[in-house]
Amino acid sequence: MALDTSVPNQKVTIKAGTVLFPEGSAANSLNVLHSGALRYLVEAPGSRKLELFKISGANLTPGASALFGSGRYPFTIVAEQDCVLSTYVMSPSTVGRSLAARSSLGIMVGRSLLREITESFKKVNQLRKIASDMGKTNDNLSLLYYQFNPSVFPDIKPGQPIADPSSEIVDPVLRLARENLKHYFDNGGILPERPTANYVEEDHSQLLVKYYPEEIEFQDGEFNFVRKIILADPNLLAQLFAPDPGMVSYVCDKLGRVQNNITENAKSILEELDEDFSLLLGGVESLTEKYFLILDMAANGYATAPPEFVVPILQVVSQKIERALAGHQALFGSAIPGPSPNIKSFLEKTAGLAKKFEASNPTAKAASNGSGVSVDGSADATAIRKELANSASTIIQFSGMGGDAIKEFSAMMVKLKSLKNPLDSDNDTRKLRRSITKTYFDIYAACFQKYINSGKNVPKPVDLMLKYGFFDETMLDDSQLVFMSTFKDAITSVSDIPIHYGTEWLEKIYKRECPTSLDELGQNFFDKVKMDNRNAVFKKESDLPPDIDNPEARLKFEFGAMYEANVRLTTGSLATYLPILTKYHSQIPLGKAYVTKKMLTDTIHDIMAVDFSVFNREVIYNNPEMGINKEFVQRAIVPDFVIVPSIGSKIMMWQELSIHRGSGSKESRGRIVLPIFVQGDLKSLLIDAFAAFRWELCKTILGPEWNNVGNPSITADYMDYVQFYKKNKDLSIEIKEKLAAEFKRFRNERDIFANDYQLWIKYEAEGVQRLNRVVRGIFYRHIPFARTIREKVSKMPAFGEINNRFVNIRTRKFTELENRYKKYINALGSLPDPLRENMEFYRV
């Protein structure tokens, strides 16, 4: 029976187990806890109860947030121990006046609310992480379900458009799979030919147009200010609130609203969790049941995929089921309602099948732990493995590492190789990988220095490490070793795209053929030298003495500033990062993941065939002999592309200019870094990098004006759109609501822009409308399509008006240039190339 609060100003003792205030009941009192402990519970779907937190002690005001919200308790409060409580009749309409009259009571309420907020926040973030993990798991399993049982999706073909799921599809797993496959393939996703356990753990949110936040979004400057106030010394607060008693009630009102919002957030996440648990474990239409059928097919020899692929995934599903069952029990103190009928059979049969498979196949254990497959050991593979025997030892000895360091590093490598999966994201494995990574790069740097000094004459294991990140032949499959040992990439003709493999780039830095890069703090080599030598007066790079500025020093800086950082960042998965290439990294054969110079060149040209001005910028052209002084012309300056020895799903736009200050800075090349083994669609990843390049180049060149709508630019106009879309009369209410939800998926405006840029290049260029009219207008003005594409889309109603506007603006500009350039025409009737190319840029 709930506590009777109708008695005014009572002091009562409550027995343990008593429900003080049921969720949803009216709040008509302010309650002060003198002693004891309380539990706060919220109701989850399916009549389950979740404990939010417990509090104990004295001078607490449990449930006061209800007086600052709807007037009803958002949770149930239960006595955990015998409690002594005082109750004071109060309502949402009178609480403000009561607290203003007694500031000491208001301070007690504020501090109590802050404690509840802190405890709630911890629990809600715990729920958020669980929901994020389960959502990611369910989405990834839905993709693999299609791969393992394609007969259920006879109309779906990779690379072909997928229709939106029919309303007639009631099976939640089939509906989820279709929705995910549509987004995955539309965004350039490629399912792994060799599915691995790692695939289930990876984040494919960008391809799936999903968002897996591990913490709730909470950025409230007002709350942070109020929090600091209420934690101040009570005596100071009494003086602060004395002139204006209403301040204390305002502080409590703010804290009460924050607490209510967090509680509502918890309930929203619980609904999401209920759906996640149901998808994985609930009833006959769950992922468990779908994979139970796959298990049966595998056990009977009818699976469409080889057992070395299916069994590891089934083992992961089994682990996910066990973890979800235990997690549900821990959260709600009860078993999941309406579970799948075959959960127990699934767990038992999977364990039995795994043992049977391992017993019949000596390589099964390795395969079950990663992407390794059983390869028919040909003579070539055997010879190559023999040639690379003891590679780790060869590399370490070649590096010149000291004896103690060798012992320590070797011990760490032995421990790493003993793990079931060295890419696991648990804390102990991550710490081990971090320690190995630091020493590995010391070895890599030492080996590269010897590689340069010896005229590139190094042992084969060292050569493979420098190229691919190879280190230990026992951690790779035969097929992977064969590929790395035998493949040679050479671009057949001179390319207009400056592409460099990692070793080629480091060599250019060593020979001073290219300036050093910026580090992660935005410092270049000269900045770093000045920081390290603060007592010396160096005004420019030419002031640096040879003992500070030499090839070795520049190489060391570049290695630490750009190279090592990008080997890490291009993996796209920092939680599982390991620079040493293993069979656990690769989801597709290395030969298909490898980025050749020709492939990269062709893909860049494909994108430039749509966005012809992607690398253009306005620079100054001078030609004193012809009387040309400070003419602004458009010039395409293609960035350097550096391919580093890593495997991953991220291409980094490292810097938009290689020289950020002084003469020639705006004409310097940018730097884009990509992994040598790409896990994903190369074109989609490059489009993302080009979007970042466009954005950052515009910001750098315009400086403070980059966000000024009075000076139109892609960044200024797009920022104005993102910030004020809710007031935009050209957008419907439905589109505004959709944008509000869409923008939450992204960290910043540049990421939102990159997403729209993908749609612009892939779909709008084909006449398929994926953007709203406002974004389409901004992009058509600042990121125009190539002429042939403009001619095609301009006939469509969505592009007609903006194309006419574009043509008028460009025509005026062309006419202006034509008139101004007449004085520069020579006797043969021609213009200097920069001026002629500038006119061509504006020709419609």
Q: What confidence tens digit (pLDDT) does each residue in 666-721 have?
A: 889 999 999 999 988 899 999 999 999 999 999 999 999 999 999 999 999 999 99
Say which residues have a Cβ less than 8 Å from residue 720's Cβ, sequence separation at least 6. 709
Q: Residue 784: which of 614, 670, 615, 637 has the closest Cα?
A: 614
For 541-552, b where at least 16 C-beta lie within 10 A, e where not — what string? eeebeeeebeee
**Dihedral in degrees, nearest 10, Cα atoms 725, 726, 729, 733:** 120
Its sign, for the CA torsion 435, 438, 440, 443, is negative
Q: Which two tokens stand for residue 626?
A: 């012809």
Look up residue 529 and give its two tokens: 């030298």
Q: Cβ of 672: how many Cβ atoms within 10 Å? A: 25
pLDDT for 364? 39
Torsion angles phi and psi, residue 670, rounded to 5: -80, -175
For residue 566, pLDDT over 60 is answered with: yes
Q: How far is CA 96 from the centre of its chain?
A: 44
Q: Of 149, 140, 150, 145, which is closest to residue 199 (Cα–Cα)?
A: 140
Given pLDDT bands bounded at 50, 70 and 90, which one contains residue 444?
very high
Could you tell me the two tokens for 190?
């490629």
Q: Give the model's pLDDT for residue 827.
A: 67
In order of 180, 537, 540, the CA distances from 527 in angstroms are 47, 12, 10
711-753 pLDDT per residue, tens = 999 999 999 999 999 999 999 999 999 899 889 888 899 999 9
- Tokens 């998926």, residue located: 745
Q: What SS3 state is found at 303?
A: coil
The mean-pLDDT minimum among 58-67, 143-152, 452-461 falls in 143-152
Contact by Cβ (8 Å): 829, 808: no
pLDDT of residue 361: 53
Q: Which pLDDT belongs to residue 365?
A: 40
CA distance 519 to 522: 5
User: How far apart are the C-alpha atoms of 707 and 724, rounded to whole Å?
Assistant: 13
pLDDT value at residue 153: 87
pLDDT for the residue numbered 421: 84
State both tokens at 112. Answer: 């109590």
| Range with top average pLDDT, 139-153, 292-306, 374-388 | 139-153
Would you state the pLDDT for residue 562? 94
- Residue of 274, 284, 421 whose CA lies nearest to 346: 284
Phi-psi label, residue 333: left if phi above 0, alpha if psi -120 to 50, beta otherwise: left
Amino acid at 722: V
Phi/psi at 819 (nearest 5 deg)? -70, -40
**Residue type at 816?**
E
- pLDDT attached to residue 792: 93
Strand partners, 86: 11, 32
Q: Is the pLDDT of residue 587 over 80?
A: no
In order, the DSSP letters of 130-185 are HHHHHHHHHHHHHHHHHHH-GGG-TT--TTS--PPPPTT---HHHHHHHHHHHHHH
Inform me whether the pLDDT recorded for 138 exceeds 70: yes
Q: Is the pLDDT of residue 491 over 70?
A: no
* Eight-class DSSP state of 335: P
**pLDDT exceeds 80 at position 428:** yes
Task: Identify the helix (H) or strand (E) that includes residue 640.
Answer: strand 640-648
- Please give the share of the chain, as a percent, with pLDDT higher than 90: 56
Q: Which CATH number fits domain 1-92: 3.30.930.20, 2.60.120.10, 2.40.160.20, 3.20.20.150?
A: 2.60.120.10
Q: How high is the pLDDT of residue 543?
A: 80
Structure tokens, 428: 């102990």
Taking a C-beta distance cutoff of 8 angstroms, is the pair 318, 350 a contact?
Answer: yes
CA atoms of 471 and 579, how far apart (whole Å): 9
Q: What band does 2 get if pLDDT is binned at 50, 70 and 90?
A: low
Residue 159's pLDDT band, with cuts at 50, 70 and 90, is: low
Average pLDDT over residues 597-622: 93
Q: By mean pLDDT, which of 115-129, 136-150, 240-254, 355-369 is the weakest?
A: 355-369
Distance CA 189, CA 29 (A): 57
pLDDT score of 363: 40
Whether 23 has a pLDDT exceeding 90, the answer reads: yes
DSSP string, 235-254: HHHHHHHSS-THHHHHHHHH
Q: Please give the pLDDT value at position 1.
A: 53
Q: Pick 150 or 32 by higher pLDDT.
A: 32
For residue range 324-342, list pLDDT tens digits in order.
998 888 888 888 888 999 9
- pLDDT at 580 exceeding the cut of 70: yes
Pair 156, 166: CB distance under 8 Å: no
Residues in the chain: 844
What is the CA 102 to chain-centroid distance, rounded? 49
Rounded to an integer, what distance in angstroms lies between the CA atom of residue 249 and that of residue 67?
Answer: 11
Phi, psi for residue 649 in degrees, rounded to 5: -125, 30
Quick one: CA dihedral 506, 507, 512, 514, positive or negative? Answer: negative
Return the pLDDT at 279.
Answer: 93
Contact 284, 134 (CB under 8 A): no
- 345, amino acid identity: S
Q: What is the average pLDDT value for the chain, to the nearest integer?
A: 88
120: Cβ contacts below 8 Å, ≥ 6 apart: 40, 52, 53, 259, 262, 263, 266
pLDDT of residue 367: 35
288 token code pair: 């468990």
Q: Whole-angstrom Cα distance, residue 195 to residue 140?
A: 11
Distance CA 149, CA 195 (A): 13
Q: Tens of pLDDT along 354-413?
A: 888 766 654 434 333 333 333 333 437 888 988 999 999 999 999 988 888 888 999 999
* Angle of the 749-762 helix axis to the 682-702 helix axis, nearest 10: 130
What integer pLDDT is reported at residue 826 of this predicted model?
78
